[in-house]
Amino acid sequence: MKTILVTGGAGFIGSHLCKKLFEQGNKIICLDNFFTGSKKNVELMLADKNFKLVEHDIIEPFFTEEKIDQIYNLACPASPVHYQYDAIRTVKANTIGVINMLGLAKSHGARILQASTSEVYGDPAEHPQKESYWGNVNTIGPRACYDEGKRVAETLFFDYHRKHGLEIRVARIFNTYGENMAENDGRVVSNFITQALLNNDITIYGNGSQTRSFCYVSDLVNGLIKLMDKQGFIGPINLGNPVESTIKEIAEKIIIQTGSKSKLVYRPLPQDDPKQRRPDITLAKEKLNWQPEIKFEDGLKKTIDYFKKIIA
């Protein structure tokens, strides 16, 4: 049994990660400031002595007597709407917060994994994106608090590794979807499903020709755990589903699968919105023997069923 700290553990991905690690027989400390996460996402584990939920902001240092073996650092709002709400706080989470968690890992001799992102590639000029690509990010735009924040977080991880020999892992996560996404999350899959279920207009930003590649959350969580437990490989490594779709295709699939009467409406494309995104996962296949298994239609069905209950 390991003691594992998951920051952002009450959020979308964090709650699935906590559940899986908990089911594997580990002791979980779930740390969250509940900015976008919710106690409800982890409520089934709350009564167990091997699950501890701590309200804490990683921008403040965290101390514990309990010996921590592993840290998954997920604490950061991930939806553009939420990370831009207080951009300076987003930068703080990815700098001061990350330094706090790296310091904690150092003092416990723990291995630490960073939830990095495909946003480090910005609006990519190379397609699909390989880990060797350095990216194309606007340093002063509205997405920079997140993109540059996540880039400097990777830098900090590698500097702690070089200077202090810290055991690090860096996962570059591509668009992920599934149950426990917040209804007001603002990201495309949750927005479109909610709109479709309510027969409201489906809001396509731009002309809908921009692409993303969507990974179901259970696949992603398996990849994160494989990376954490892999000996001798620190990353960075892409984790995502290489099946690429336009945003318009996603809207059409959601209309069909929900049987919705919604119409597509077009809204201005947000500034610096990446035009294309697809992970090259050759490295994940090679190093982790990992690739996504859940088809979009199947993951979408589970996600739609979840939102049906939430909306009801």
What is the footprint of ligand NAD within residues 150-189 (CB under 6 A)?
173, 175-176
Residue of 128, 155, 131, 126 lying closest to 238 (CA atoms): 131
Residue of 13, 35, 125, 122 lying closest to 81 (CA atoms): 35
Answer with the entry of ligand NAD, ligand UDP, none that 6 interacts with (C-beta below 5 to 8 A by kind).
none
Answer with the entry of ligand UDP, ligand NAD, none that 288 interacts with (C-beta below 5 to 8 A by kind).
none
The reply on whether position 80 binds ligand UDP by CB under 6 A is yes
Applying CB under 6 A, among 3, 4, 6, 14 the residue interacting with ligand NAD is: 14
Residues 121, 146, 177, 216: which is the catalytic one? 146
144 vs 149: CA distance, rounded Å = 7
180 vs 306: CA distance, rounded Å = 8
- Residue found by looking up tokens 């495909």 in the block: 118
131 vs 121: CA distance, rounded Å = 9
Pattern 189-218, ligand NAD, x by CB under 6 A: ------------------------------
Torsion of CA 121, 126, 127, 129, to 10 degrees: -40
Q: Is 146 a catalytic residue?
A: yes
The reply on whether position 248 binds ligand UDP by CB under 6 A is no
- Residue found by looking up tokens 């514990």 in the block: 64
What is the footprint of ligand NAD within residues 102-141 (CB under 6 A)?
115, 117
What is the footprint of ligand UDP within residues 204-223 (CB under 6 A)?
204-205, 210, 212
- Residue found by looking up tokens 């892992």 in the block: 169
Token pair for 214: 């969507």
Token pair for 256: 């069909």
Shortest distance (Å) from residue 107 CB to ligand UDP:
34
Token pair for 40: 């409800």
- Give the residues lining the site for ligand NAD (CB under 6 A): 7-8, 10-14, 32-37, 57-59, 74-78, 93, 97, 115, 117, 173, 175-176
- Give the residues lining the site for ligand UDP (CB under 6 A): 79-80, 175, 187-188, 191, 203-205, 210, 212, 247, 270, 273
Residues acting as catalytic residues: 146
